[in-house]
Every structure is written in structure tokens, then in C-alpha cells.
Amino acid sequence: MPANAHSIILHQYDVSPFSEKVRVIFGIKGIEWYACDEPVIMPKPELTALTGGYRKIPVMQIGADIYCDTQIIIRELERRYPSPSIYVGADKGFGWGLTVWTDRSIFQAAVAIIFGGMADGDNELANEAFRKDREALTGRPFDTKAMQQAAPLMADQIRAQLDWAEHQLSGGDEFLLGDRAGLADASLYYNIAFMRWVYPKGLTFFDHMPRLAAWEKRVRDLGHGTRHEMSRAEALNIAKAATSTEEVRADPAEPNKLKPGMRVTVMADDYGRDPITGELVSSSAQHIAIKRSDDRVGEVVVHFPRAGFFVMPS
Ligand SMILES: N[C@@H](CCC(=O)N[C@@H](CS)C(=O)NCC(=O)O)C(=O)O
């Protein structure tokens, strides 16, 4: 079937760990999707035409609706494809809290271990252009020496935290929160997959975590749903021809008096803090959707999560 305004398009690249989180969710839900490969470093002119400046990967596009950050991407996938749910066992919402742990604490430890291992010469990702790009992304020097020094300390940190997961699996369940995979599994798994792809030496302690090793294989075997490829030009054409399906909705409990029609600026609270400005369409405790336009894509609505993002009137 040719792609259209309803197709799920993931702007991604294959060695992107956060993209892997979403690809595992595609696997869990059996979703058919289009991979639109983006550059690993800036510039990303097609991506930023869609997002208004947000540069991180992945970004999901459905027609003229653009979802920035895995949290809002997975939330939207759950809304459109509720079964099987990402919520497993007793999880009705705390799974998102677990993603704060996996996406910040564990991910940062994995990054230090991977790039701290660079001295061994087995890391092709971190060339000069990549380092410069990541300095601009984080606003901090890409200090290889400091990462080399931090790597053993971070190995202790990641081992201790993954050991919690090893214990979590001791009740006999196949997945972290029950007998099927969900948000918690996708969120922990992508960190391990990232190390496995680019710096497997960083995972030697895994030999002593047999339950987690078996779990890793089970999550990998879930696959990625049905993947097709799409060019960036085609993705832009789809956005341009489509109209957003987001409805105007005021949030009665909005604490800062934000209302549809107001101009607001949204930015991530950690790294890649490029501000994105637009007109508020709808908002809630968990999302904000803003309308903006660009010559190449026409009018689009860009969606962000609230946890981990700042919203300011502009
Ligand atoms: N909070 C974001 C984090 C995304 C993230 O850090 N992505 C990495 C790649 S996996 C990134 O964008 N790195 C810079 C780049 O690719 O330009 C999310 O959940 O989507």
C-alpha cells in the first residue's frame, strides 16, 4: 500500500537508541511503519522544517502531525493502537516514571561507558564532526578524557541499576512487569541494544545476569513490526498535502493560563534545547500541540510531552 496521510513515519536512524525504543513498541503492537532516515548530525533541514527547530531523533510524523520525543510518540501510538497495551500488570502510569530512570540515569551511564571506551579505537561513531555536533547539542565539551575516567565509575552504576532488573525478573515472569512486554521493557532494552551495537565490551558484566540476558533476547525477538522505507522528500510532500487532525481543546486545569490561540515557546529541559514557537492548539497535563508553518511543509501541528519540556508564553 502506498504511504498516505495516515501512515506512521518515523524520522530516525538505525543506531539511534531512542529510535529503538519506538521500534520495539512497533514490534509489541505489530505496527506497519515507514522509516525515514535522518542524518546523525546537523544540519537536518527536512526534519527541522517539520518540527520548527527540534533536532532530536526520533520524531514521528502522521500526515501534518509531528510528534517530538519518544514519550509523546509512544503515548500517541497507544491512543491509536490500544491493543496490546504498553501498560503491563499493575502499571497504569508509573511506567512513564520508569522512563525517567531509563532515559536519563541509565542512558547517561551507557553514553559514558560507550564513549569512554573510544580510546580502544572500536568506536567509529565518535569522529571529529560528531564530537563537535554533540558539543553543540549538550552545551558541554565532548571531553574524551573525562569520559574515559568516568567509564569505570559508570560501569558500576549501570551494573547496580541493571541488577535491579535482574532481580525484577526473579519472580519467573518473562518480561519486567509481567508475562508480556510493554513500555518498561522497550525503555530498558534500548540502552542495552545501544551498547550491544556500538560497544559490546561495555556489557561484560551481563555474563553474571542470566535472567536479564534471556530477557534481552526475548525483547529482541519481538522485532520491529513491519518496516518500509521512505525518503525525506516524500515525507515532506505528505506533510504538505495533509491537514492536522488535532482539535482545538482548552485545558480547564491549566495552571499557567495557557489557552488555544496563544503564542508559546516549547523547549526540552535537558539537552537539545532549541526553542520551538507556535500557536497553541491543545494542551493537557501530558501534551502540548502547537501550530506553525513552513514553506516546505505548509501548516503543521507539532506535539510535545509536558514532563521534560518547558512551555513559556512568547
Ligand atoms: N528525550 C528524547 C531523547 C532523544 C535523543 O536524545 N535522541 C538522540 C539520538 S538516539 C539524539 O537526538 N541525538 C542527537 C541527534 O541525533 O542529533 C526522546 O525521548 O525522544
> Residue 279 sits in a domain of what CATH number?
3.40.30.110
Cα-flanking dihedrals φ and ψ of residue 190, to 5°? -65, -30
Domain edge (last residue) among 191, 221, 251 = 221
What distance in angstroms lies between residue 50's CA and the mean position of ligand 1's atoms?
16
pLDDT tens per residue across all 314 residues of the chain: 799 999 999 999 999 999 999 999 999 999 999 999 999 999 999 999 999 999 999 999 999 999 999 999 999 999 999 999 999 999 999 999 999 999 999 999 999 999 988 665 656 667 889 989 999 999 999 888 888 999 999 999 999 999 999 999 999 999 999 999 999 999 999 999 999 999 999 999 888 999 999 999 999 999 999 999 999 999 999 999 999 999 999 999 999 999 999 999 999 999 999 999 999 999 999 999 999 999 999 999 999 999 999 999 99
- Domains: count for the chain: 2
Query: Phi first, then psi: what are they for 269, rounded to 5°?
Result: -95, 0
Q: 17 in ligand 1 pocket by Cβ < 6 Å?
A: yes
**Among 165, 187, 221, which residue terminates a domain?**
221
Q: Do 101 and 181 fall into the same domain?
A: yes
Q: How many residues does the chain have?
A: 314
Q: Is the CB of 56 under 6 A from ligand 1?
A: yes
In a domain, 2, yes or no: no
Assigned domain for 28 exists: yes
Residue with CA at minimum distance from ligand 1 atom 1: 69
Q: Is 185 in the pocket of ligand 1 (CB under 6 A)?
A: no
175 shares its domain with 191: yes
Boundary-marking domain end, from 221, 245, 270? 221
Dihedral sign from CA coordinates of 137, 139, 144, 147: negative
Q: Could you tell me the residue range of the domain that residue 159 belongs to?
A: 94-221
- Residue bearing cell 572500536: 122
- Give me ligand 1 centre to Cα 16, in Å: 7
Residues 124 and 110: their CA atoms lie apart, in Å, by 16
Segment holding 190, helix H or strand E: helix 183-198
Distance CA 10, CA 190 (A): 16
264: which strand partners? 278, 313
**Residue for cell digits 497553541?**
280
Full-model pTM: 0.98
Place of cell 514519550: 71
Residues 217, 232, single domain; the answer is no
φ, ψ at 66 (rounded to 5°): -120, 125
Return the pLDDT at 144: 83
Are 45 and 158 found together in one domain? no
Same domain (yes/no): 165, 207? yes
54 and 124 belong to one structural domain: no
The predicted pLDDT at position 123 comes to 60
CA distance 150 to 197: 21
Does residue 138 sit in the same domain as residue 114? yes
In a domain, 4, yes or no: no
Other Cβ atoms less than 10 A from the Cβ of 40: the count is 16
> Is 1 inside any structural domain?
no
98 and 217 co-located in one domain: yes
**Considering the domain boundaries, does residue 139 fall inside one?**
yes
3 lies in some domain: no
